[in-house]
Amino acid sequence: MSPLRLILVRHGETAWNREPRFQGWIDIALCEEGRVQAEKVAQALAAQTVAAVYSSPLARARETAEILAKPHRVSVVADEAFREMSFGVWEGLTAGEVMAQFPDAHRAWRAEPHTVRFPGGEDLATAAARARAGVERLREAHGDDTVVVVSHGLVIRLIVLEALGVPPARLRAVHATPGGITEIEYRPGFATVYRMNVLQHLERELEA
């Protein structure tokens, strides 16, 4: 398998990120600030030679991906592997509402996230396996290429943990902020994380 340079981008902000509400598989569009973040990511990656742009099929990721794909003149490929983890019955609820309605599960999610399976949703192991299969497909299809994947906070964190050889139980050891850029190089037998949740580009003004 040839080396793959994978650039992971978390989608821009949504109104639900600000509240915050569990979004999961609910299809929420970017807010205005999220679109600005996507434009800043596009400018930050414009000088890269990008062979392909993949995205979660959810609108907030697709819209981000379409914006950053334009300078590279490539079409966005939607891939279910990079869809956010499903939070089941928690989706649409704020953190406070979850604490009130599911106190035991919320405590477990904070302390031992790998032990929680969301009613009507997924658990970390299922989401991690889905994302792992997606990365393996990219490695097979894009040897020696740089590929961008626009995904979600939980999925990006799981991909990074997998690259580092760290179990999903350590989910809170890494983070992925809206508009953040993470970069991993995959070679046969190992992976190297070159940058993690880089945010400096979001502090700059958009270029005219």
Average pLDDT over all residues of the chain: 96
Write down the catalytic residue from 11, 72, 106, 142.
11
Q: DSSP string covering 111-134, please?
A: H-GGG-B-TTS-BHHHHHHHHHHH
Three-class SS state of 151: strand
Could you read off the pLDDT of 17-45 as tens digits, one per residue?
A: 999 999 999 999 999 999 999 999 999 99
User: 64, 10, 77: which is closest to 38 by C-alpha?
Assistant: 64
As a whole number of angstroms, the distance between CA 89 and CA 208 comes to 43
Q: Rounded to whole angstroms, what are the CA distances from 162 to 156, 159, 190, 191?
A: 10, 5, 10, 9
Q: Both tokens of residue 28?
A: 């929420």
Q: Which residue has the tokens 């290429």?
A: 145
CA distance 183 to 193: 6
Is-catalytic flag, 72? Answer: no
* Domains of the chain as residue ranges with CATH: 4-203 (3.40.50.1240)
pTM over 0.85: yes
Q: 72, 114, 152, 201: which is the annotated catalytic residue?
A: 152
DSSP bridge pairs for 186: 4, 191
Are the C-beta atoms of residues 178 and 33 closer than 8 Å to each other?
Answer: no
Give mean pLDDT, residues 44-64.
97
3-class secondary-structure state, position 98: helix
In this prediction, residue 1 has a pLDDT band, given cuts at 50, 70 and 90, of: low
pLDDT of residue 143: 84
Q: Which SS3 state, helix, strand or coil, does residue 175 take?
A: coil
Q: Is 11 a catalytic residue?
A: yes
DSSP 172: G
Question: 3-class SS at 173?
Answer: helix
H/E element holding 42?
Answer: helix 32-45
At 179-201, the pLDDT tens digits run 999 999 999 999 999 999 999 99
